[in-house]
Each structure stands twice: as structure tokens, then as C-alpha cells.
Amino acid sequence: MLRPYKRKAIMYLTYPKLTVIITAGDSNRATAMAASWHTYLSFDPPLYGVSIAPKRFTHKLIMKHKEFGVNFLPFEMSKLIWDTGSISGAEVDKFERFKIRKFAGKKIKAPLIADSISILECKVVDVVRTGDHDLFVGEIIHAWYQEDLFDEDGVLIASKASQAYYMGKGKFIALNENKVLSFE
């Protein structure tokens, strides 16, 4: 039976959400932030969006540098995702604190996470105010992936790698590759 939802955190009705780590900044000052509110926006040009509150340090660095990285990590790194979303980068160097293995991007200055399944390098082309968050629209200017984790069509092989999905309240799940439906 459907019932009216009366809780303030209505967004949990849309979870679980694939959760990534957004990286921003440069070699002098960088940060990493967990984000569940992100999505592909356009094929041509290839656009990707992430929604971030203006009070976040990551927001400030993206506004300054006009770029960001979207790092898709394996489920086994859910604790790192949680940790990067639990403390401000204004207070601590998250790469050092959490021993994040990073490398330099090809097209952006923000560091990228070496243990990622895939990564998008994005240049900001628009910022849209959406209530208490800003939607950063980034053009994907370069992408990375672990070739052995994807099939010849570029689709993730679920039996080889599971991504982290946030359920809310500190809980993460992985998709079950035994329950895949195909409609081709």
C-alpha cells in the first residue's frame, strides 16, 4: 500500500545512487568529495553534471578552476567514499589523510584517483542554481577506464567490478551481477 511520505529527507526515496568522488583544485590545493547527485546530461557535446552546495570547499575550488574530475570507484572502496564526504577539504588534505593514490589528469589540473574504475575529466561550461545547490555542467574533455573491467562495447562487466551505491545513512550496496536483465 502506498502511503504519504512525511520525512524531510525525501531524496532517500530516489536512492540508492551511484556515488563517485569529485576531485577539484590543482597541485597546490586540491580536494576530493563524495557525490551522489550527478548525471550524464548530453551526448553531443558530452556533458556531465554534478550538484554541489555553495558552502562546500569543493564548490569553491570548482568555481576557481572551472574544472573537476568524476572518479568512479569500486564498491570495495566505499569507506573511502564515505570518508571523503565526512570531512571538509578546507580543514584537511584528504589525499594525505586518507592515503588516496592520485595522478595528474591529461586535460585538467585537478588530481585524479588512481584506483578508479573509470574517470571523467570535465571543464565547466555552465553553472545553474538549483535551490540550495549549484549544478556544475561540465564538458567531458577526457576519460579514463580500466580496460579489463569493460566489454568491447564499453559496458562495465559486473562480475569483475561493482561500483558503490549509496543507500543513505552511511550504508552502501553493490549491484548483484546475478540479477541482470538484457532486452536486446
Per-residue pLDDT tens over the stretch 153-162: 999 998 899 9
Residue listed under C-alpha cell 536486446: 184
Tell me if the domain spanning 16-179 has CATH number 2.60.40.10: no
pLDDT band at 147 (very low <50, low <70, confident <90, very high): very high
The pTM of this model reads: 0.94
The pLDDT assigned to 177 comes to: 64
Per-residue pLDDT tens over the stretch 75-111: 999 999 999 999 999 999 999 999 999 999 999 999 9
Q: Is the pLDDT of residue 24 over 90?
A: yes
Q: Quickly list DSSP for 159-183.
A: TT--B-EEEETTEEE---GGG----
pLDDT band at 181 (very low <50, low <70, confident <90, very high): low
**Angle, alpha carbons 114-26-52 (nearest 5°):** 85
Per-residue pLDDT tens over the stretch 111-122: 999 999 999 999
End-to-end CA distance of the chain: 33
Domains of the chain, residue spans: 16-179
pLDDT band at 14 (very low <50, low <70, confident <90, very high): very high
Decide if 67 contacts 54 (C-beta within 8 A). no
